[in-house]
Chain A
Amino acid sequence: MQAVKVTTLVDPLPIYTMWLRQIKRFLRMKARLASSILMPFLFLAFLGLPLSFMPAREIPGMPEGVNFLDFLAPGIVGMTLLFAGTMSGASVIWDKEFGFLKEVLVAPVNRFSIILGRSLGGMTTAIIQALIIVAIAVAMGVKISSVSGFFLSIVFMILTCATFTGFGLILATKLGDTEGFMSIMNLIIMPIFFLSGAFFPLAAMPAGVGYIMYVNPLTYGVDGLRGTLVGAATFPLWLDFVVLLVLSVVLASLGAYFFSRMEA
């Protein structure tokens, strides 16, 4: 690798350009936006809403003062961030497949700026999707605990999203080709989702499963979102924050590193 000077590591115009490209693509693919909103909506409308009429205390480990819809909504926001974040990182593989990456990689721009701009663009679109889900949840009757809580939840959205963008990048750069890529993604992503406490409290799970949930990054993302949005966290918020901060920095850096070593 060539020696990279710190001054050229962050190159504003290309970062903005990569960001803009992701946003433009996002805005043009309305069908994809609709489909990525549909599944979270269905979960909230046909799982969360009906179960919210059930007495919440019958579910073991359910926090005080929230019904099931309040409990589920942050989990579904977390799910949206998991899917959109991972896809944003992993979609590098399609840029490679369709040749677009080549053209970017022979431009006189360092790779860190390229992947930073691209990831920021992907994260922006993921967080827009997450905010749409929050709006839908509120429309269904979920009560946001406080204004400051809402703004704090955006911090957790960013961290959760960065974690899975990095994760998606690592997958894409290591797996290398699109063959069977989607099935491998689902094989990894679905367990992360179901083992995150998005649907049910940790305490409601069998003992062995609980341990797996503790090592799942999304558990902390969902818990942080739950704490900030509806005020019903299992862990202290600072713990969620620290775990996610460390994970997002490590995974995103690792993803960027693997990307920088990719050959066009």
Chain B
Amino acid sequence: MSSVIEAESLTKEFDGLVAVDHINLSVKEGEVLGFLGVNGCGKTTAMMMLATALNPSSGIATVCGYDIIKERDKVRESIGVVFQRLSLDVNLTGRENLDFHARMYHLDRKTREERVSHVLGLVGLRSKQDMLVKHYSGGMQRKLEVARGMINYPKVLFLDEPTLGLDVQTRRVLWDYAKKLNGEFGISILLNTHYIEEADYLCDRIAILEQGKIVIVDTPAGLKDSVGDSLLSVKLSQGSSDELTKLLGQVDWVKKVDQCDGWLELSVENGGKKIPEVVRLAQERDFVVSSISEHKPTLEDAFLWYTGKAIREDKGDINELRKTRRVRR
């Protein structure tokens, strides 16, 4: 399979701040690739460069074989973009917005009418087409934007956090729509998201981004496996977590120990059987374990695992995420 997106050392700086730091990327034809990362990790900037809305500071990239700088208009003809923030003219009707867009892509009147009706039908907005967009709900506006991104029958669709702020039902509808576009029409999709379940559900491969760099690219299953067979969460009521971390780090069946918010996270094989082992080891050194549990690694664990590698101090978002995860369990 040939690739529809190739990026080499793509970089964007804003006044000395490096938003995207020398990323290399290859998206195969028909693939759904997700950029997963916290807010401010550079995923929007990276996508906007590939969608020709921003000029890279350095590096090169091609979309559908066209250079994103030198053959900008060719790239633009081959892509559809759904922006993170609303980009409709709210003083025009739904149909007018799409018709407007179709004209910008030089489609003739007949083709315009056919395609506009077609995509409106796909997202179920045909009955609302003559309403002004300012009277649409947030979900309807989002659906209209996805429909608009399809008017030029793009080879690659860029979705920048398409379900941000939407209710569960609408999110489902958009996910299924994206799946359909990918499955039935063979459209490759680059998806930006910070919703882990969205990435898990839609993506063939996920690129985890942190501080403008791609930390790892793998399939959702591959990412989960790479964390280990199972995870043990341990909390102490007596003794220092730091010392136990050090101690367990020396044990050969512990693949990795991570510490956050008073909890220890161990990656091990066959976790259930290791629980008594951990408790015994702890007791021998006068630690008191107040809580211990085992679970299968999720994509969220993998995400935290990889993004946790960087320095903790300025990882407010990550620690927040970890905290909310504890509450959920």
Say whether, besides A2-B69, A14-B103, A21-B100, A106 and B51 are in contact (CB < 8 Å).
yes
Contacts of A28 in B (CB 8 A): 91
The answer to whether B322 has its CB under 8 Å from any CB of chain A is no
On whether the beta carbons of A17 and B92 are closer than 8 Å, the reply is no
The answer to whether B55 has its CB under 8 Å from any CB of chain A is yes
Interface majority SS (helix, strand, loop, mixed), chain A: helix
Could you say which of A8, A13, A107, A264 contacts B54, with CB atoms under 8 Å apart?
A264
| A114 CB, nearest partner CB in chain B, Å | 9
The answer to whether B76 has its CB under 8 Å from any CB of chain A is yes
Say whether, besides A21-B92, A98-B90, A100-B89, A107 and B53 are in contact (CB < 8 Å).
no
CB-CB contacts below 8 Å: A220-253 with B: none
The answer to whether A24 has its CB under 8 Å from any CB of chain B is yes
Contacts of B89 in A (CB 8 A): 21, 25, 100
Report how far A173 CA is from B53 CA in the complex, Å: 16
Say whether, besides A106-B53, A108-B73, A13 and B91 are in contact (CB < 8 Å).
no
Interface bits B45-56 vs A (CB < 8 Å: 1, else 0)? 000100111110
Could you say which of B69, B83, B90 contacts A102, with CB atoms under 8 Å apart?
B83
On whether the beta carbons of B52 and A107 are closer than 8 Å, the reply is no
- Closest B-chain residue to A26, C-beta based? B91
- Closest B-chain residue to A264, C-beta based? B53
Contacts of B69 in A (CB 8 A): 2
- Closest A-chain residue to B82, C-beta based? A103
| A66 CB, nearest partner CB in chain B, Å | 41
The answer to whether B273 has its CB under 8 Å from any CB of chain A is no
- Closest B-chain residue to A104, C-beta based? B104
CB-CB contacts below 8 Å: B69-95 with A: 69-70, 72-74, 76-77, 79, 81, 83, 85-92
On whether the beta carbons of B53 and A108 are closer than 8 Å, the reply is no
The answer to whether A6 has its CB under 8 Å from any CB of chain B is no
Interface bits A19-47 vs B (CB < 8 Å: 1, else 0)? 00100110011000000000000000000
On whether the beta carbons of B54 and A263 are closer than 8 Å, the reply is yes
The answer to whether B105 has its CB under 8 Å from any CB of chain A is yes
Contacts of A13 in B (CB 8 A): 103, 106
On whether the beta carbons of A107 and B105 are closer than 8 Å, the reply is yes
- Closest B-chain residue to A24, C-beta based? B92
| A233 CB, nearest partner CB in chain B, Å | 40
On whether the beta carbons of A99 and B104 are closer than 8 Å, the reply is no
How many residue pairs link A and B with beta carbons under 8 A? The number is 76
- Closest A-chain residue to B76, C-beta based? A108
On whether the beta carbons of B83 and A17 are closer than 8 Å, the reply is no
Could you say which of A8, A17, A106 contacts B52, with CB atoms under 8 Å apart?
A106
| B97 CB, nearest partner CB in chain A, Å | 9
Say whether, besides A100-B87, A102-B53, A102-B87, A108 and B100 are in contact (CB < 8 Å).
no
Contacts of A205 in B (CB 8 A): none
Contacts of A8 in B (CB 8 A): 73
The answer to whether B96 has its CB under 8 Å from any CB of chain A is yes
On whether the beta carbons of A24 and B96 are closer than 8 Å, the reply is yes
On whether the beta carbons of B83 and A103 are closer than 8 Å, the reply is yes
The answer to whether A185 has its CB under 8 Å from any CB of chain B is no
Could you say which of A2, A11, A99, A107 contacts B101, with CB atoms under 8 Å apart?
A107
Contacts of A101 in B (CB 8 A): 87
On whether the beta carbons of A14 and B104 are closer than 8 Å, the reply is yes
Closest 3 CB pairs of A and B: A99-B87, A107-B104, A108-B76
**16 new A-B contacts at CB < 8 Å, known A2-B70, A2-B72, A17-B104:** A17-B103, A25-B92, A28-B91, A98-B87, A99-B83, A99-B85, A102-B53, A103-B87, A103-B148, A104-B104, A106-B52, A106-B79, A106-B81, A109-B73, A110-B73, A264-B53
Q: List 22 A-B contacts (CB under 8 A).
A: A2-B72, A16-B103, A21-B100, A28-B91, A98-B86, A99-B83, A99-B85, A99-B87, A100-B89, A102-B85, A102-B87, A103-B88, A106-B51, A106-B52, A106-B76, A106-B81, A108-B74, A108-B76, A109-B104, A110-B73, A264-B48, A264-B53
Binding site for B on A (CB under 8 A): 2, 8, 11, 13-14, 16-17, 21, 24-25, 28-29, 98-110, 263-264
